Amino acid sequence: MSERTASANALYRPMDEAEIGPKHWLTVFTAGMGFFTDAYDLFIIGTVTVLLTPIFHLNTNQISLLNSISLLASVAGALTFGRLMDKWGRKRMYGVEVAILVVGAILCAFAWNFASLFVFRLIVGYGVGGDYATSAVITSEYANRKSRGRLVGSVFAMQGLGLIAGPAIASIFLAAGVPNDVAWRLMLGLGAIPAASVIYLRRKIRETPRYTLGVQGDVAATAKTVAWVTGQQPAVRANGASQAMAGTDAGGNGAITALDYGNGVRARLTSKPYLLRLVGTAGSWFLMDIAFYGNSVSSPLILKLLQPTGTLLDHTLISLAIFAVAAFPGYWLAAFLMDRIGRKRIQWQGSAVMAAAFALIWLIPDGATAIDVFLPLFAISYFFIEFGPNQTTFVYPSEIFPTSVRGTADGISAGAGKVGAFLGALFVPHLLKAVGISGVMGVMAAVSLLGVILTLVALPEPKGQTLESAAAETRP
């Protein structure tokens, strides 16, 4: 280990070894409210399109596009904000993406036809994609070493609340007899409220210490942020035009100055070991989101095929029960166990159980037609999606790439995931017509099995490591 690396590690050490404190939970809340909104906005559209079908006279193609277009737009948001985070800093971009989301949600509530709603959902999706790229990286770069998975996972677990809120609010409106042409507008417009509540907090958040040191070379700002998070003031002294900090580590001791960092040199994602890791994070996220969004956005259509005589309220309540009983606990179990049993095991294990549950629905003669067979297996798949790859694919890219390209790698990975989500949401309605529930579940089983293989081949285990070690980030 070089003196520069040792000294940088000494500066980061108070954060790496700190216990979880108020500043960590403030970061989690600030990021998590965005993910609550992301989930609400992305999944409520499935119920909304059912209500809108007779109002806007939607055909199957239009339903598929409305269900999926935000997911496609989120690809552009993830790629854009991920790259700009690395170029301009985390702080400058944070809050902009949820502001875009708020504007889009409000506009959606005032849409007057298919075309206008289509355009406004593009705006929502762009903001959602930006949120995926920014929130994971910022939380990861503030986190301590032994609880990083728990903190980043807790941000994503707020998606579980949004997943429940959507059908819960829809059920309330439907049960109360709110007219359909009013209910759908309220469902979409309410998505603006939680996101708007954290715009101010996001704009005021400090630049992460990893970025101020690793990219900007600002030792003084890094020390101030470390002190703000941990309450421990690193020893920083003036050194001419720059700042220096005396640091001692197992690999040596010496002074770190701004000239050691922020020199514009960036890691290359096409080099070893990052290219294989990028294939692993982007590919596994892509595969998982095909299954997750394909089934979730189209759940009203799936349940209508399963129970043709049921009402929309019946199907919405069934979705709510599955999300509340199976999915929601899975999110939080993954968050709290990630630092104990590891990201890699949770991801491949969850994908394997998903594949088994989908395969059983496909192979059992009554698996796709009998409610008492389908619903338990479908619920099991949801539990292990959350206690599995839906959590870990979010956490992984924020940990295993160097600071200088972490935002870009996270954006690419999230973007790939949303390509999968778009394809799942777009084609599942057509597949349901062509091959039925059984055929769809067979496709999802194959997709999930591929996720197992890719995880085992391409991804390392970052549990318990410093962010620099997990990212294989070294300094000359």
Residues 134, 172 share a domain: yes
Higher-scoring residue by pLDDT: 454, 33: 454
**Residue 258 clears pLDDT 80, i.e. is over it:** no
In the chain, the percentage of residues whose pLDDT exceeds 90 is 56
- The highest-confidence range among 200-214, 332-346, 361-375, by mean pLDDT, is 332-346
> What is the Cα–Cα distance from 33 to 101, expressed in whole angstroms?
12
Sequence-separated contacts (24+) of 104-113 with Cβ below 8 Å: 105/37, 105/41, 105/188, 105/189, 105/190, 105/191, 105/192, 105/195, 106/189, 106/192, 108/188, 108/189, 108/191, 109/185, 109/186, 109/188, 109/189, 110/185, 111/188, 113/56
| Of the residues 243, 260, 277, the one at which a domain ends | 260
Residues 426, 281 share a domain: yes
Residues 237, 158 share a domain: no
Residues 158, 23 share a domain: yes
Weakest mean pLDDT among 30-44, 344-358, 385-399: 30-44
Residues 238, 178 share a domain: no
Tokens of 123: 């705006």
473 in a structural domain: no
Residues 6+ apart with CB under 8 A from 266: 86, 402, 404, 405
The owner of tokens 């700042």 is 243
Average pLDDT value for residue range 197-225: 88
Residues 226, 168 share a domain: no
74 in a structural domain: yes
| Of the residues 196, 227, 260, the one at which a domain ends | 260
Residues 270, 248 share a domain: no
Average pLDDT value for residue range 449-456: 97
143 in a structural domain: yes
pLDDT at 230: 87
Residues 157, 183 share a domain: yes
Residues 135, 76 share a domain: yes
168 in a structural domain: yes
Average pLDDT value for residue range 276-302: 91
pLDDT at 260: 41
> What is the Cα–Cα distance from 434 to 362, expressed in whole angstroms?
15
3 in a structural domain: no
474 in a structural domain: no
Residues 185, 232 share a domain: no
What is the DSSP track for 69-118? HHHHHHHHHHHHHHHHHHHH-HHHHTTHHHHHHHHHHHHHHT--SHHHHH
Domain count, the chain: 2
What range does the domain containing 252 cover? 217-260
What's the pLDDT band for 90 if we cut at 50, 70, 90?
A: very high
pLDDT at 13: 86
**Residue 190 clears pLDDT 70, i.e. is over it:** yes
